[in-house]
Amino acid sequence: MIFGAVEFPPIENVIEWPAFFFKNSDYFAFNKIALIYFLGMAIPAVVFLLANRGDALVPRGFRTAAEGIVEFVDGQIVQAAIGPDGRKYMPLLTSLFLFIFIGNITEVIPFFQMPGNARMAGPLVLALIVYVTWISVGIKHNGLGYIKEVLVPPGVPKPLYVLVTPIEFLSNFLIRPFSHAVRLFANMLAGHILLVTFSVLCISVFSASLLFIVEPFTFAGLLAFTAFEVGVSLIQAFVFTILTAVYIGMALHPAH
Amino acid sequence: MNLMLVLAAEDAGDPPNPVIPEINEIVWAAIFFIALWTLMKYVLLPPITRAMENRANTIQGDRDAADAATASLGSTRRDYEGSLADARNEANEIIAAARASADERRSALQAEADAEIAELRRSAQSEIDQARADALSGMSGDVATLAVSAAGAVLGRSLDAGAQQSVIDQALAAE
């Protein structure tokens, strides 16, 4: 795709990833995105395994990192959104935070330079797992009445239920998982396209002699947006995880 | 297979839709995330949280022990200061009693000394008086003899000492 003198890569470059392994399998073709998801599992696992070998009384190195992550998830997400009851959801929330963060940060790591969550598969899977989880938590703690509690909220004048109940059904059971997934996916895809745009601009103006004078600005823009995307990676992981905690908290205490 | 192709919602010439997920990526995402969640729940997180809780409990225990020691130190200090105050009071009482006793003893000794001095003085005075009387009585014979002799020499005749004794005694008594 060419705009003026600048040639942008086609959208297929973001979508079609050739498989490294199981090339002929429809379900298990292992491509770069799958590798990123694998790292999203492997890196936290290795860090936590190494952390567990360290001195438990005086934490250093990996243990400091692991405990920092646990304290962050506990303090900023679990306690803030659920409260003391939420400790049992720490494994889910910690896994979500780390899996998403690693899936995002590959956007600025050489060789990868593609966020795994800029593909819909990861966010969709995570949003569906969260969707099943909070509905299960709601039914487990409040019985089947939980569904009624969500669809027919107390304190609303009865005639308004004609409007409120369909709206609650749509927002809670249909739109919520979709928005949960799309928020992450769209942010990461947009960030990736932004970095691609500035990278292409840098390369193009570097090769175009007349436009070379704007090279510092485009390069500065690329650096700035790269730093910005590091922040976005962290924030999006935090937002997805805290929304999960909020949904679980609402399922635990629907009256609140 | 690409879900996009399965769904076949678009014409063959249109660009691929980035929103439609790939089935293989869904599979791997689900496998790896569920693996991480399982590992986190049963293997990775429990030792970390247990160690953090143990450390927090140890720190809390040490802090409680320090608070107890501080409280105990305060109590010991209060006991010590109480004992010190008691000892000080007792010492003051002993000193006051000793001072009173010393004053009493001094007064008694002073009175005894005064009485002894008065007695000595009386005794000395009586001895002086006795010596004086003895001296006067011893001296009166000699004085009489001397006075009679002197008077005989003046008069040019011998005087009778016995006859003049009463006059000499009157003169001495008048002294």
User: Tens digits of per-residue pLDDT, B116-169?
Assistant: 999 999 999 999 999 888 887 777 777 778 888 888 888 887 777 777 777 777
Token code pair at residue A84: 């003391």
Residue B170: inside a domain, yes or no? Answer: yes
- Report pLDDT for A199: 86
Give this complex's ipTM: 0.91
CB contact under 8 A, B24 and A92: no
- pLDDT less than 50: residues of chain A: 1
Residue B100: inside a domain, yes or no? Answer: yes
Rounded to whole angstroms, the Cα distance separating B38 from A80 reads 24
In the beta sheet, which residues pair with residue B22?
B2
Residue B7: inside a domain, yes or no? Answer: no
The answer on pLDDT for B8 being more than 90 is no
Residue B134: inside a domain, yes or no? Answer: yes
Which residue from A11, A27, A70 is facing B48, i.e. has the nearest CB?
Answer: A70
Residue B2: inside a domain, yes or no? Answer: no
Of A218, A197, A247, A239, which Cα lies nearest the Cα of A8?
A197
Residue B16: inside a domain, yes or no? Answer: no
In the beta sheet, which residues pair with residue A31?
A19
Helices (H) and strands (E) in chain A, counts: 10, 4
Domain count, chain B: 1
- Report pLDDT for A210: 67
Per-residue DSSP letters for A31-43?
Answer: EHHHHHHHHHHHH
> What are the angstrom distances between the C-alpha of B72 and each of A98, A133, A186, A217, B64?
48, 52, 63, 69, 12
Residue B138: domain span: 21-174
Residue B158: inside a domain, yes or no? Answer: yes
CB contact under 8 A, A95 and B16: no
Token code pair at residue A94: 């910690």
Rounded to whole angstroms, the Cα distance separating A64 from B55 reads 13
A48's enclosing H/E stretch is: helix A32-53
Token code pair at residue A251: 């399922």
Longest Cα separation, chain B: 200
pLDDT in tens, B40-94: 999 999 999 988 888 889 889 999 999 999 999 988 899 999 999 999 999 999 9
Query: pTM above the 0.80 mark?
Result: no
Which residue from B28, B36, B58 is facing A44, i.e. has the nearest CB?
Answer: B36
Chain B residue with CA closest to A33: the answer is: B25
Residues A252 and A137: beta-carbon distance below 8 Å = yes
Which residue from B20, B26, B49 is facing A70, i.e. has the nearest CB?
Answer: B49
- Report pLDDT for B66: 93
Question: Is any Cβ of chain B less than 8 angstroms from the Cβ of A48?
Answer: yes
Instruction: Give residue B129's Cα distance to chain centre.
Output: 61
* Pick among A33, A120, A178, A240 to test the B interface (most B CBs inside 10 A): A120
Interface of B with A (CB under 8 A): 1, 15-16, 18-30, 32-37, 39-41, 43-45, 47-49, 51-52, 54-55, 58
Question: Is any Cβ of chain B less than 8 angstroms from the Cβ of A125?
Answer: yes
Residue B38: inside a domain, yes or no? Answer: yes
CB contact under 8 A, A91 and B58: no
CB contact under 8 A, A33 and B25: yes
- How many CB contacts within 8 angstroms connect chain A with chain B? 132
